[in-house]
Structure 1
Amino acid sequence: MVPIIETARLRLRGFRESDLEPQAETLRDEAVVRHLGGNPHTREDTWRRMMAGRGLWDVLGFGYWVVERLEDGAYLGQVGFADYKREMTPPIEGLPEMGWIFAPHAQGRGYAGEAVAAGIAWADKALGGRELVAIISHGNEASIRLAARSGFSVREEAIYNGEPILLFRRPASPAAAASAAATPA
């Protein structure tokens, strides 16, 4: 089961078949994908990405949510966690890697910050206060600012697919880690 999270303006929920078209439209947008490898996604690739985002929940206990506006259910983007077993230096395998993608019409309105904060709050409780990571392209200034505002305070150079990328780390929340340590297994 994918948990549903509601904030003041947003609902984070699992993917549905009806999300395919708005998700595909977002992932076809060259401005959106320029920091995701640069190539617009096909509808088929989008479907696979959606299924992977949902399937992560069954395998890892975390995954991706669709972000929709609470007032009207409009699709805004996606946010969540994965462990893609990336071959990168330094390695991040085994750590929840946070990511976010928002439709152009949803950018610049604070939705991403609100959704990322909700995801982190969920992770602090559900994942036992584990360290979180995020990888961001050097030129993706909006995501770099969002990561910094969201507590990803350690920034280092990394190599992924033979290319330099920024690796952000959000240390484990001390309160969440203490709570997890106090909970019997």
Structure 2
Amino acid sequence: MEYPMTVSALPPVTSPPALDTPRLILEGHPLGDFDALVAMWAEPTVVAHIFNGQPSAPRDSWMRMLAYRGLWPLLGYGYWAIREKASGRYVGDLGFADFHRAVEPSIRGVPEAGWALATWAHGKGYATEALTHALGWLDAQHRFERSVCLIAPANGASIRVAEKAGYADPVRIRFNDADSLLYSRASR
């Protein structure tokens, strides 16, 4: 099995850089966010278009949090916790990963953007604001020609976020026995 980069080519990143936006802070997931993360991933609205609409059990959320922290030293990129700057409240998760999805066309080795925000934070523009800043960080790394995101066709809100951030040219693919839209964005 081939991988696009070798261990020696990876930057020595052990935790995510903090990113400030006008209203948000993107930072590593501290252990103190666990209860809020569990609550968010159990919200039916949050998972309506992922995981076959099934809320995550606390153990699944724990494994997700471990993966978020582990992406950074392994890949040099990963997921951030999103926090509301004014209140310090946990908003959700956003970032990039290589999930080694078995899809065609292949996206192995390409950063895949993903985001999930607590229901109370929907409709405020937080996802677009956070994604735009995260993409600015990814672009500044000068390591990738593009990034992608995979969205359920019925998830109109995420499609709008992706398109506002520059993702375009969706290709309809099959993933987990369901139709999905694979969007791509050239690095800038």
Q: TM above 0.5, one fold?
A: yes
Work out whether 1:60 is the aligned partner of 2:71: no
The 5 A counterparts of 1:1-150 are: 1-37=15-51, 38-150=53-165
Aligned AA (2:139):
D
SS in 2 for 1:89: coil
Distance in 1 (CA, whole Å) between partners of 2:151 and 2:135 is 17
Q: CA deviation at 1:166?
A: 0.3
Q: Is the 8 A contact 1:90 1:159 kept in 2?
A: no
Distance in 2 (CA, whole Å) between partners of 1:128 and 1:167 is 21
Q: Is the 8 A contact 1:10 1:68 kept in 2?
A: yes
Q: CA deviation at 1:25?
A: 0.7
Partner of 2:7: none
SS in 1 for 2:123: coil
Pick closer, same or farther for the CA change 1:160–1:92 going to 2, 3 Å: same
Distance in 1 (CA, whole Å) between partners of 2:73 and 2:59 is 22
Distance in 1 (CA, whole Å) between partners of 2:165 and 2:144 is 15
Q: What RMSD, in angstroms, separates the aligned Cα atoms of the two structures?
A: 1.0
Distance in 1 (CA, whole Å) between partners of 2:149 and 2:166 is 11
Q: Normalising to structure 2: TM-score of the pair? A: 0.89
Partner of 2:184: 169
Q: Residue deviations 1:51-95, cap 9 Å, x none?
A: 101110010000000000112210001110000000112111110
Q: CA deviation at 1:44?
A: 0.9
Aligned AA (2:27):
R
Distance in 1 (CA, whole Å) between partners of 2:178 and 2:47 is 17
Q: Normalising to structure 1: TM-score of the pair? A: 0.91
Following TM superposition, where does structure 1 have runs of at least 4 consecutive aligned residues deviating by more than 3 angstroms?
none
Work out whether 1:155 is the aligned partner of 2:182: no
Aligned AA (1:172):
S
**Aligned residues between the structures:** 173
Q: Residue deviations 1:89-130, cap 9 Å, x none?
A: 211111000000000011101111110011000000024353
Q: CA deviation at 1:162?
A: 2.6
